[in-house]
Amino acid sequence: MIRVEHLTKKFGDTLVLDDISEHIDEGEKVVIIGPSGSGKSTFLRCLNLLEIPTSGRVWFNNQEITSQNTDINKIRCQMGMVFQHFNLFPNKTVKRNITLAPVRTGLMTQEQADQRAMELLHRVGLEDKADVYPASLSGGQKQRIAIVRAMAMNPRVLLFDEPTSALDPEMVGEVLEVMRELAEDGMTMAIVTHEMGFAREVGSRVLFINEGKVQEEGTPEEIFSHPKNPRLQDFLSKVL
């Protein structure tokens, strides 16, 4: 579904991603781990061109999205993204947050989008929050709404960038639970996280990014029980 070849990203003279070639297949749940500052967010953001690669190419469903001819906005509609800090619109109700993109892009009428929003809110147990503003929600509720907002576009893939890192510990579980259900429903997902238990349980493949390279990848069993790279062993000894 997503393929990157020789992906390199520099900020000024700093090399942040160093010649990464990777792929995410339909239905895979690819978990990305690694130390802070290693390039995990930049990698994720290059997949939907929120960051423009310095060199290398990115494909989405066999269409090269780094090509000049691609309408990237059309592609982004099919790639939902969930951020660490939720990024909800504070001046819009929960329901408006969810329906804005599907209506603006012409994917749905307001009525259709409202109906879809209520279905999704029901799935995450927040239908009673449809008409409130984000400020009145807890962090865990905000993040569940942000996931619902991404899902409202019926994306082909969801990208998560440390979705639970900004949450109080008691709210982490409710967000991971929603993500676990999406995974069980067959959603294709790429997830940057420090939640190693979740990575182990839900991940179909784990990538260890360090110093801008994928230094090791494998099944959760391979990565967590039999890590080979000393840098990965060192990282795991600090986070597990």
Q: Which residues of the shown chain bind ligand ADP in the complex (CB under 6 A)?
A: 11, 16, 34, 36-42
Residue 193 sits in the site that holds Mg ion (CB under 5 A): no
Contacted by 89, from ligand ADP, Mg ion, none: CB < 5 to 8 Å by type: none
Contacted by 36, from Mg ion, ligand ADP, none: CB < 5 to 8 Å by type: ligand ADP
Residue 42 sits in the site that holds Mg ion (CB under 5 A): no
Judge whether 188 and 26 are in contact, CB under 8 Å.
yes
- In the bound state with ligand ADP, the residue whose beta carbon lies nearer, of 46 and 182, is 46
Contacted by 38, from Mg ion, ligand ADP, none: CB < 5 to 8 Å by type: ligand ADP
Question: Which residue minimizes CB distance to Mg ion?
Answer: 41
- Selected binder of Mg ion within 38, 41, 66, 97 (CB under 5 A): 41
Q: Which long-range contacts (CB under 8 A, 24 or more apart) does 123-126 make?
A: 123/148, 123/181, 124/148, 124/178, 126/94
178 vs 17, 33, 106, 171, 190, CA distance in Å?
30, 20, 27, 12, 15
Helices (H), 7-138: 40-47, 72-76, 94-104, 110-123
Helix (H) or strand (E) holding 217: strand 213-218
- In the bound state with ligand ADP, the residue whose beta carbon lies nearer, of 39 and 139, is 39
Least distance in Å: CB of 37 to ligand ADP? 4
Least distance in Å: CB of 58 to Mg ion? 19
Least distance in Å: CB of 95 to ligand ADP? 31
Least distance in Å: CB of 17 to ligand ADP? 8
What is the C-alpha separation between 86 and 171, in angstroms, rounded?
14
# residues contacting Mg ion (CB under 5 A): 1
Least distance in Å: CB of 186 to Mg ion? 26
Residue 157 tokens, joined: 């893939």
Judge whether 210 and 35 are in contact, CB under 8 Å.
yes
What is the C-alpha separation between 134 and 91, in angstroms, rounded?
8
Site residues (vs Mg ion, CB under 5 A)? 41
